[in-house]
Amino acid sequence: GGPVLVAIDGPAGSGKSSVSRAAARALGYGYLDTGASYRALSWDLLERGIDASEAAAVIEALAGFDFTIGTDPDDYFVRVGAVDVTEAIREPRVTAVVSLVARVPEVRVWLNDRFRAIVAAAAYPGVVVEGRDITTVVAPDAPVRILLTASEEARASRRSKELTSESAAAVGDALRKRDAADSKVVDFMNAAPGVETVDSTELDFGQTVDAVCDVVHARLAALT
Ligand code: C5P
């Protein structure tokens, strides 16, 4: 029952989102960016003037948090209520508080329920679900589980090319801090047993997408 789940985890700046979306497109699958959901909640808290470091207030805010996320890799969007926040959730002010939001266990349980419901309802033969704890917590039984990694230098330099206003050193610093904070909550630096590692350090974008698709095809072929 339900679409085939392809779980992909990895650190910030590993290219996870763009690679996962391109892989979903190549496979004819849907795509779910779980990090965007943590970001959407963070954006909503900022809009409502709620302190993200106050766990009780964050938990209380979940009841009024109404988000919609696209699962079509060709039509990706995130909305909070009627507001399109697809771009806004990438702003540094959101990135700065998202780890505070993500460390609240009740938030994780609440979002994980949504993720499972979105996947179950997706009208695709499969869904690529991408995040930090998909291979270990959200979908430990997924038929395909991948850890997408790259060296810290490669990740920082890719990110700084996206964010032209910041130096690679500053971006590297911010990535390290966010990964360190996130790593206290879930382990996405080491592959859990049965999780296949794809290291993109020496690969370009297209090669990384191909490597992910190769793992998907190999794992699915091994099942039948
Ligand atoms: O993937 P992205 O960098 O957009 O994720 C934003 C933040 O959301 C992460 O830094 C992390 O705090 C949180 N996150 C998480 N679990 C996930 C996905 C994202 O805690 N599955």
pLDDT digits (tens, 9 = 90+) for 18-74: 999 999 999 999 999 999 999 999 999 999 999 999 999 999 999 999 999 999 999
Please give the distance, rounded to the nearest whole angstrom, from the Cα atom of residue 11 to the centre of ligand 1: 9
Please give the distance, rounded to the nearest whole angstrom, from the Cα atom of residue 114 to the centre of ligand 1: 15
CB 103 within 8 A of CB 181: yes
For a ligand 1 pocket test, name from 19, 145, 182, 188 the mutation site with the most ligand atoms within 8 angstroms of its C-beta.
182
Provide the token pair at 110.
């609440």
Q: Letter for the amino acid at 136?
A: T
Query: What is the four-CA torsion angle of 128, 134, 139, 145, rounded to 10 degrees?
Result: 60
Q: How far is CA 196 from CA 29, 37, 69, 81, 186, in A?
A: 19, 25, 27, 37, 17
Q: Give pLDDT, residue 157.
A: 80
Name residues contacting ligand 1 (CB within 6 A): 12, 34-35, 38-39, 98-99, 102, 131-134, 178, 182
pLDDT tens for 71-130 read 999 999 999 999 999 999 999 999 999 999 999 999 999 999 999 999 999 999 999 999
Question: 184 burial class (0-12, 13-18, 19+ CB within 10 angstroms)?
Answer: exposed
Q: How far is CA 46 from CA 91, 115, 178, in A?
A: 12, 23, 18
Distance, CA of 169 to CA of 131 (rounded, Å): 24
Distance, CA of 113 to CA of 71 (rounded, Å): 16
Distance, CA of 184 to CA of 176 (rounded, Å): 13
Largest distance between two CA atoms of the chain: 52
Q: How far is CA 127 from CA 8, 130, 151, in A?
A: 11, 10, 27
Q: Give pLDDT, residue 100.
A: 97
CB 97 within 8 A of CB 54: no
Please give the distance, rounded to the nearest whole angstrom, from the Cα atom of residue 129 to the centre of ligand 1: 12
Identify the residue whose C-alpha is closest to ligand 1 atom 16: 132
pLDDT tens for 133-189 read 999 999 999 999 999 999 888 888 887 776 656 677 777 888 889 999 999 999 998
What value does the mean pLDDT take over residues 189-215? 95
pTM of the predicted protein model: 0.94
For the annotated binding site for ATP, the residues are: 10-18
At which residue do the structure tokens 């291979």 appear? 135
Q: Spell out the domain ranges in the chain.
A: 4-223
For the annotated binding site, the residues are: 10-18
Domain 4-223, CATH number (from 2.60.40.10, 3.20.20.330, 3.90.50.10, 3.40.50.300): 3.40.50.300
Strand bridging mode 196-199 / 30-33: unpaired
Please give the distance, rounded to the nearest whole angstrom, from the Cα atom of residue 95 to the centre of ligand 1: 9
